Amino acid sequence: MTPLILLALLAFVSPIRAQNNTNGTTVTPASVEQAFTSAQIVPDVLPSFAPETLLNVTFMDQATGMPISVTPGVNLSMEQTMLQPTFAVVANTSQNATSVNQTFVLAIVDPDAPTPQNTSISQFRHMLAGDLRVNGSGILINSSAALSDFVPPTPPAGSDPHRYVILLFTQPPDFDTMAPALVNATTPRTNFNISTFGQAVGLGSPVAGTFFLTGPSNSSNTTTGNDTAPGPLSTPAPAPSPTGTSSASEAGNHVLNTMAFCVLISTMGVLL
């Protein structure tokens, strides 16, 4: 059993502006629903959305070691969203509460790939995982490998920020037999559709969700010019010299292998 949680602090030199996005605003299911509509995630991703509970998503800022809470619509940088976040359901952990023994499916999709103006390869599937259960702290823990491991946002240079939509569903009984026939390691992440997939496996409406916005990194062209060159994760040395030759649009090809922490050569070829 592999926890979904990444607890690694990786050496990473980057001028990350601290952001405190937890400004005390109270998030409720109704405010999340409103935020989804304002951002047109309804109808772009979901025909409707009526969350029953709250999904807490928390990234770890590699520069500061501080948690970054995803409030709906918050702006986050590529650096801040590099590592797989933790997911928590603001659940009633009473022994009698239905959430205690509930199994969940979690998805992260980008409907703005490669750009919000050109969605020809949307949705891009950043993560798809089932068999998640809450522990006594409300943290979602997986008991099987993800169908699609988390890959971080890599919007291409020049793109407006993308919406990264995180959705939680109750898991239907036959999900583990049906879903891998539709999504597995060989299934392209591009041109995914969470609603079509959801209908095929009987996911129903999401019970919770949130989203964040991430645009291309301003400094990405100084560190990630070559797919095979050391990326930010393995470049603790100060101020690597700019390559100057590669466009920042190459910057997105660094995919964090959440198990091994290595920078893989992405075959995606596209930036999401």
Ligand X SMILES: *[C@@H]1O[C@H](CO)[C@@H](O)[C@H](O)[C@H]1NC(C)=O
Q: How far apart are CA 131 and CA 102, in angstroms?
A: 9
Q: Is the dihedral of CA 138, 141, 146, 150 positive or negative?
A: positive
- Based on CB atoms, which residue is closest to ligand X, 72 or 206? 72
Contact 92, 207 (CB under 8 A): no
Q: Pairing mode, if any, of strands 86-89 and 55-60?
A: antiparallel
> 90 with 138: CB under 8 angstroms?
yes
Residues 192-211 that bind ligand X (CB under 6 A): none
- Candidates 11, 97, 178, 239; binder of ligand X (CB under 6 A) is 97
Among 62, 123, 219, 258, binds ligand X (CB under 6 A): 219
Distance of alpha carbon 124 from alpha carbon 266, whole angstroms: 14
Q: Which of 228, 237, 238, 260 binds ligand X (CB under 6 A)?
A: 228
Token digits of residue 85: 């976040």
Q: Contact between 63 and ligand X (CB under 6 A)? A: no
Least distance (Å) between residue 260 CB and ligand X: 19
Q: Indicate the residue among 48 and 184 with the shorter CB distance to ligand X.
A: 184
Q: How far is CA 154 from CA 26, 55, 238, in A?
A: 29, 23, 23
Report if residue 19 touches ligand X, rule: CB under 6 A: no
Looking at 71, 77, 210, 224, which residue binds ligand X (CB under 6 A)?
A: 71
Binding site for ligand X (CB under 6 A): 3, 5, 20-25, 56, 66, 69, 71, 73-75, 88, 90, 92, 94-98, 100-101, 114, 118, 120-121, 135-139, 180-182, 184, 186-187, 213, 218-219, 221-222, 226, 228-229, 244-246, 248, 270
